[in-house]
Amino acid sequence: MLFLSQCINGLQLGSIYALVALGYSMVYGIIRLLNFAHGDVIMIGAYIALLTIGAGLHPALAVGITILGCVLISVLIEKVAYRPLRSAPRISLLITAIGVSLLLQNLVQLFFTADSRAYPSTAIIPARAIQLGGLSLSLSTVVTILVSVGAMLGLHLLIQKTRMGKAMRAVSEDTGAAQLMGIDINRVISITFAIGSALAGVGSVLYCCRYSVANPTMGSLLGLKAFVAAVLGGIGSIPGAVVGGFAIGFAEVLVTALGFSAWTDAVVFAVLIVVLLVKPTGLLGRGVAEKV
Amino acid sequence: MMLEVRDLTVYYDNIRALKGVSFSVEEGEIMTLIGANGAGKTTTLITLSGLKKAQSGSIRFLGKEITKTTPQSRVALGISQSPEGRRVFPGLTVLENLEMGAYLRKDDFAPDMEKVFRYFPRLRERKKQSAGTLSGGEQQMLAMGRALMSRPKLMLLDEPSMGLSPLLVAEIFEIIRRLNESGTTILLVEQNAALALKLCHRAAVMETGRIVLAGTGEELSRSPAVQKAYLGG
Ligand SMILES: Nc1ncnc2c1ncn2[C@@H]1O[C@H](COP(=O)(O)OP(=O)(O)O)[C@@H](O)[C@H]1O
Ligand SMILES: [Mg+2]
């Protein structure tokens, strides 16, 4: 029973990492950028939820506004900060992303101080236990797993079956050839950022409901872990991000269960180092196809 | 005149790849550009489809000035390219590649897919396979089929014979001829000058970013300079 409940715990944490890792991988796939501001968009989402719930909005509406806010800010970041650098050296883009990340953290600190705030978890997902067989699960665990899996299935269908999804794959494989098809790559890149950050918005709500606090730097660690998950799965690979996310979630829960909870972060970064040394393309990554 | 190119100058950073290129393509013809490696043929084609921006000069297509327009608006006007090195989408299936070719089409493109499969029956057999698993010849067929899906008025073909066996080259050239007979205007870039000059109506020779000779295919085949430089004697 203990084993099973730990597995479910791993599944919950893993699904959050997977949602966030998907955003990293999708953006990397399409413009070869490690978007270090991705974690901070999740942090912004946390503050939007704080404010909207604080203002007395219905939780469902607050969640909707949170997701929309994450989408708008990401699309704006791409337009203002990344698009002008489309043909600049990759390193300029990377440094810009780090700059955007710091900017967002400091802006939020300016308006809301650096203090941690209690996140209204129970307003969004009521604290209730669900009996499943002999297992007692919290509603928030069940909701997290179901919503994440649902979002991933939705993403899978979108990418595999829709015209826009196919265009996204085409742009990520060969941007120039995609333009020759008449695909408007700016639009496709915007939509990729929008989808990735919608998943991040969902991830933001679920993550904050698990830990019940928000602060201006919360995005860094979550973002880094999701980044490790994306690299472990193979950066750029959608199934890889999911596999990597669950692997990191399970690893953390396992390390904690063994009594080494202080070591969880170290273990996650050890995973990154091992992957980079042994198999830099990750578990499901393709060979490094350089773009022309 | 379907396409009129005037004084086109194109740079890669500070390398001047095209140094004032002018030529035209008439409706219904096969026009071909030949020339050695690095002469600027590919640069010419990608500037026509808008992947590369011209520094100066003008491109007119069907009477419209398109020099500064986006690649997608040129596809919409009826220019379509099968690029050098094929550049099919390796992770997409053959069907999905063809669908991408029809990306801007709002109408039903099933008949066009059927037409592509009639030109290239081997693509039909492989339609569910990902393009990365195709042979070089099949990828060339897919690149051409994909370019046909937008119902182009002008097709730009960049070295369709590259790396293919003589038998396959003959097959591809026969299809280019049939495409042209069915009304598609073609601008063909080729290293295989002998075959290209035989197939085309008119031709031009490029050298280091300039057009140095132009005429009918027959005239150029008979030109001593062309024979010496491109036809092996
Ligand atoms: N991406 C590029 N960056 C810099 N120079 C390039 C690039 N592509 C082509 N060139 C240069 O432009 C010139 C024309 O090349 P290209 O158009 O590819 O010739 P062709 O297709 O006739 O072989 C060459 O000198 C080549 O070195
Ligand atoms: Mg070339």
Does position A142 have pLDDT exceeding 80, yes or no? yes
The rounded distance, in Å, linking the Cα atoms of B190 and B197 is 9
Dist. CA B6–CA B24, nearest whole Å? 8
**How many CB atoms lie under 10 A from the CB of residue A118?**
9
Q: Which residue of A has its CA nearest to B146?
A: A181
Pocket test of ligand 1: the residue of B9, B11, B42 to mutate, having most ligand atoms within 8 Å of its CB, is: B42
pLDDT tens, A8-42? Answer: 999 999 999 999 999 999 999 999 999 999 999 99
Complex ipTM value: 0.96
Give the separation between CA A200 and CA A69, rounded to whole angstroms: 11
Dist CA B73 CA B66 (whole Å): 9
Own/partner contacts of A100-107, CB < 8 Å, gap of 24 or more, are A100/A36, A100/A37, A100/A40, A101/A36, A101/A37, A101/A39, A101/A40, A101/A219, A101/A220, A101/A223, A104/A37, A104/A40, A104/A41, A104/A43, A104/A44, A104/A219, A105/A40, A105/A43, A105/A216, A105/A217, A105/A219, A105/A220, A106/A216
How many C-beta atoms surround the C-beta of residue A123 within 10 A? 15
Q: Give the strand pairing for B3-12 and B15-25.
A: antiparallel
pLDDT of residue A287: 56
Taking residue A132's Cβ as centre, other Cβ atoms within 10 Å add up to: 11
- Preferred mutation among A180, A290, A292 to probe B, highest tally of B CBs within 10 A: A180
Token pair recorded at residue B170: 């003959």
The reported pTM is: 0.94
Cα B187 from Cα B45, distance rounded (Å): 9
Judge residue A6's burial from the number of C-beta atoms within 10 Å of its C-beta, 0-12 exposed, 13-18 middle, 19 or more buried. middle
Q: Is B82 left (phi over 0), alpha (psi -120 to 50) or beta?
A: beta
Nearest to A29 by CA among A172, A167, A242: A172
- A102 φ/ψ sector (left φ>0, alpha ψ -120 to 50, else beta): alpha
Residues of chain B in contact with residue A166, where contact means CB-CB under 8 angstroms, are: 92, 96, 99-100
pLDDT for res A292: 31
pLDDT interval class at A290 (50, 70, 90)? very low
Q: Which residues of chain B have pLDDT under 70?
A: 233
Measuring from atom 6 of ligand 1, which residue has the nearest CA? B12
Closest alpha carbon to A198 in A97, A74, A80, A79: A74
For residue A174, what are its two tokens? 């060969």
- Within 8 A of B92 by CB-CB distance, chain A residues are 166, 169-170, 173
Tokens of A77: 């970041």
Domain residue spans of chain B:
1-78+153-233, 87-151
Angle formed by the axes of helices B136-148 and B94-101, to 10°?
30
Contacts of B75 in chain A (CB under 8 A): 180-182
Q: Is the pLDDT reported for residue A259 higher than 70? A: yes
Looking at CA atoms only, how far is residue A166 from chain B in angstroms?
7
Residue A153: HSE in the Cβ half-sphere, 13 Å Cα cutoff: 6
Structure tokens at A19: 């949602």
A167 contacts on B by Cβ (under 8 Å):
100, 103
φ, ψ dihedrals at A114, nearest 5° = -85, 0
- From the list A160, A211, A178, the residue with the least C-alpha distance to A292 is A178
Q: Is the CB of B17 under 6 A from ligand 1?
A: yes
Distance CA(B9)–CA(A41), nearest Å, equals 44
User: Which pLDDT value is given to residue B167?
Assistant: 95
Mean pLDDT, rounded, for A271-290: 81
Of B66, B80, B103, which to mutate for an interface test with A (greatest number of A Cβ within 10 Å)? B103
Ligand nearest to the CA of A176: 1
Interface contacts A/B by beta carbons within 8 Å: 65
Instruction: Give Cα separations from B14 to A86, A119, B49 (angstroms).
Output: 19, 55, 21
Chain A residue with the nearest C-alpha to that of B85: A177
Average pLDDT, chain A: 94
Q: How many CA atoms lie within 13 A of A110 on its CB side?
A: 6
Q: Does A167 touch chain B (CB under 8 A)?
A: yes
Determine the pLDDT at residue A133: 82
Please list every residue in chain B whose beta carbon sits closer than 8 Å to the beta carbon of residue A174: 87, 89
CA–CA dist A68, A88 (Å, integer): 30
Provide the CATH number for the domain formed by B1-78+153-233 in this structure: 3.40.50.300
Find the closest chain A residue to B156 by CA distance: A180
φ, ψ (nearest 5 deg) of residue B204: -140, 150
Residue A162: CB atoms within 10 A of its CB come to: 11
Instruction: Please judge whether B92 and A184 are an interchain contact, meaning their C-beta atoms are less than 8 angstroms apart.
Output: no
Q: Which atom of ligand 1 is nearest to the CA of B35?
A: 22
B74 closest CA partner among B187, B20, B153, B15: B153
Question: Which residue, among B74, B81, B89, would best test binding to A if mutated, counting the most A CBs under 10 Å from its CB?
Answer: B89
Q: List, edge to edge, every strand of the sheet that includes B64-65.
A: B15-25, B3-12, B56-61, B64-65
More confident of the two residues B230 and A56? A56
Q: Please list every residue in chain A whose beta carbon sits closer than 8 Å to the beta carbon of residue B80.
A: 180
Average pLDDT over residues A128-135: 88
Cβ-based interface (< 8 Å): residues of B facing A: 46, 49-51, 70-72, 75-76, 80-81, 83, 87-92, 96, 99-101, 103-104, 146-147, 150
> Is residue A289 very low, low, confident or very high in pLDDT (cuts 50, 70, 90)?
very low
Q: Which of A72-76, A258-262, B6-10, B148-152 has the weakest average pLDDT?
A: A258-262
* Structural contact between residues A34 and A224, judged by C-beta atoms closer than 8 angstroms: no
Comparing CA positions, the residue from A181, A191, A190, A78 lying closest to residue B51 is A181
Nearest CA in chain B to A291: B87
Q: What is the pLDDT of residues B120-165, one digit of tens each?
A: 999 999 999 999 999 999 999 999 999 999 999 999 999 999 999 9
The neighbourhood of ligand 2, an ion, using CB within 5 A, equals B 42, 84
Summarize the confidence of residues A152-180 as an average pLDDT. 97
Output the residue whose Cα is nearest ligand 1's atom 7.
B12
